[in-house]
Amino acid sequence: MSLETVKCMTDVSEAAATAKIAWEIAYKTAVDDGSAILPDPLPPVSFDDECAGVLWPQNSICFFLTAQFLRKVVIAPLSPSTTTIDDVMSLNLPKKVQVGMVLVTLSGILNLYQFAYLKPGPVNGGLVATFFIANISLAVALFMEVITLIMIYWNDKEALNLNVRKHIHVHKREDRSSRTSGESETDNERGLTNEFGGRMSRELKGNELAFGDAL
């Protein structure tokens, strides 16, 4: 083995040892504090500066939609009074209902404004005021309706049961009437088809007889 070969092997061994030491140092540094992967620490993210302009309006809109769902599913079936479109157009409504409609309408308009405002970034004083006015108005309207129901049914549980049964019966009757109307329409169409087919067959028979007489 020549001297050059021995020297080359020695250089390779030293380079391998140096690379192994460098790899161990880099691995240890990455595991300890991650500085080998992220040499610069990430800047802190402020919730109010980055996300408030989107999350505040979204929370208000979600509360409005949830409240409307509760009014439709829970409060409306239990309410003993009904309001028609004619009553609304003529403003022939109790004061409580008028106040509730004004509050709900105000909340809806303010939530529509917040939906149009949606954008990343901080919120201003106007949006904060809109948020609180919209949610407080809606909460007051719901509170009025719930308190009214409690006062009506607190000492009259039988009226509550009758009202719930009546509401369920009305929905069943509407479903039954819709099915009946659909079946009657189908029967009418079937009758018209049979009548048209019978008339056509009679006309064809008459034409055949006339053609036979002509021959």
Q: What is the pLDDT of residues 113-149, one digit of tens each?
A: 999 888 888 888 888 899 999 999 999 999 988 888 8
CB 114 within 8 A of CB 60: yes
pTM: 0.53
- Residues 99, 188 share a domain: no
114, 57 in Cβ contact below 8 A? yes
Of 19 and 72, the structure prediction assigns the larger pLDDT to 72
- Map residue 55 onto helix, strand or coil: helix
Q: Is residue 129 in some structural domain?
A: yes
User: What is the predicted pLDDT for the residue at 139?
Assistant: 94
- Report the alpha-carbon distance of residue 8 to residue 76 in Å, rounded: 92
**Both 189 and 147 in a single domain?**
no
pLDDT value for 75: 81
Is residue 49 within 8 A of residue 121, CB to CB? The reply is yes
Q: What is the pLDDT of residue 211?
A: 41
Provide the terminal-to-terminal Cα distance of the chain, rounded to the nearest Å. Answer: 127
Residue 73 DSSP code: I
Cα-flanking dihedrals φ and ψ of residue 65, to 5°? -65, -40
User: Is residue 178 a part of any domain in this protein?
Assistant: yes
- Res 52 pLDDT > 90: no
Residue of 80, 149, 77, 135 whose CA lies nearest to 103:
135
Instruction: Please give the residue range of the domain that contains residue 132.
Output: 48-155
d(CA 60, CA 68): 13
Q: Which of 14-18, 119-123, 153-157 has the highest mean pLDDT?
A: 119-123
Over 90: is that where the pLDDT of 106 sits? yes
**Do 105 and 134 contact (CB within 8 A), yes or no?**
no
Residue after which a domain boundary falls, among 131, 155, 179: 155
Angstrom distance (rounded) from CA 147 to CA 100: 13
Same domain, 60 and 137: yes
28 inside domain: no
Instruction: Indicate if 92 and 172 belong to the same structural domain.
Output: no
In this predicted model, what pLDDT tens digit does every residue of 1-13 receive, in sequence order?
554 544 545 554 6
